[in-house]
Amino acid sequence: MAKVIVGMSGGVDSSVAAILLMNQGYEVEGLYMRNWDSFANGEVSDAPVGKTGICPQEEDYNDAKAVCDKLGIPLHRKDFVKEYYDYVFQYFLDELKKGRTPNPDIMCNRYIKFDMFSEEARKLGADYIATGHYCRLEDGKFLRAVDDNKDQSYFLSQVKKEQFQNVLFPIGGLTKPEVRKIAEEYDLITAKKKDSTGICFIGERNLTKFLQNYLPNTPGDIVNIDTKEVIGKHIGLMYYTIGQRRGLNIGGTEERMFVVGKDLNQNILYICVGEDNDYLVSDSCIVEDVNDLGLNQIKNCTAKFRYRQKDVPVELEYLEDQRILVKYPQGVKRVTPGQACVFYDGEQCLGGGIIQEVRKHNEKLWYL
């Protein structure tokens, strides 16, 4: 009987993944990863407290333990706090310092969940590892999930092809309602548990207060990019992302304003008026650190420049140093340095990279 180690997060998705694997005849054990420690990492404010008075991470572990006990499978626990800080959180901070908008969850999948977790699972005798991600592996291809609304292939686009060997995604062929129904049938504590939101190590708390523990905030001018007028003060460039509309605290106007750029040298935050403003639009970008999951020098495909975005038809020009020039002459709004650009051919995820430079008319946008 083949042994599978399931990454148990304390949520409904990994709970049902374990059930499905048991029903398929695998020997199943759980492994809970502890990736963050607010006290050890030096936080002095706004550290989260869960509904039961303990931190949400401990609540998640208790839920994972309750599920495993009910299913009659062992649950192991491994501390990856130092590794997570070194490989994921430090990357997050470094990108913010560059004025970019990073996605640490993508790096967590690459360096922790499908690298260090896999290594720990092998020590436990695993033939396979499994997670509760909504995606699929079929015939050597990495595919989107059946449930388009929950598909997580975007977040796994930096996982190397060899890291997918001996990996199972049991719920990739199910919809979220189907997953919850199975959990209810087994009367699991996680059946109606709310999905986690926000950045993995921050959780549902204020990003600004969180970052003040790690990066000094340097206030500066907010400038209207069309008129070049100073119209307010920002609290630190790291707290804003391209396309952001809320939280700008610009009074005296009812017009919809959007973050459109940053000048790190002069500490200026640029905004524009109106969601159809031409400053929000680009027609190409350079993507670095490209991870090939099936590109094979393909010239035409679709891409997502952010998770919830619809697919955009693109043309690819391959550059040196694992970079690709991605062209979309129809124009796309809010393409953001530091975010992931992920490529698709229908259901297949071809891989992706990190947006390095945003362009228009063959020129780098000066305000990004």
CA 329/CA 327 separation, integer angstroms: 6
Name the band, by pLDDT with cuts 50, 70 and 90, for residue 247. confident
Of 135, 128, 124, 134, the closest CA to residue 167 belongs to 128
pLDDT in tens, 283-327: 999 999 999 999 999 999 999 999 989 999 999 999 999 899 999
Alpha carbon 208 to its chain centroid, in Å, reads 18
CA 313/CA 317 separation, integer angstroms: 14
Contact (CB, 8 A) for 30 and 124: no
Domain range 216-273, CATH architecture: Roll (2.30)
pLDDT of residue 215: 87
pLDDT in tens, 80-112: 999 999 999 999 999 999 999 999 999 999 999
Among 3.40.50.2300, 3.40.50.620, 3.40.50.10470, 3.40.50.970, name the CATH number for the domain at 3-185: 3.40.50.620
More confident residue, 199 or 131: 131
- Segment 243-254 mean pLDDT: 82
**Model confidence at 52: pLDDT above 70:** no
Does 135 participate in catalysis according to the annotation? no
* pLDDT, averaged across the chain: 92
Of 15, 14, 20, 9, the closest CA to residue 188 belongs to 15
CATH domain 280-364 topology: Elongation Factor Tu (Ef-tu); domain 3 (2.40.30)
Residue 360's CB is within 10 A of a number of other CB atoms, namely 17
Kindly provide the b/e burial profile for residues 37-50, where b requires at least 16 CB atoms within 10 angstroms of the residue's own CB.
bbeebebeeebbee
pLDDT of residue 32: 97
Q: Which of 55, 68, 108, 349 is catalytic?
A: 108
**Model confidence at 338: pLDDT above 90:** yes
pLDDT of residue 249: 81
Does 200 participate in catalysis according to the annotation? yes
**Model confidence at 221: pLDDT above 80:** yes
Contact (CB, 8 A) for 189 and 63: yes
pLDDT of residue 71: 97
Q: What is the pTM of this model?
A: 0.92
Q: Where are the domains of the chain?
A: 3-185, 216-273, 280-364
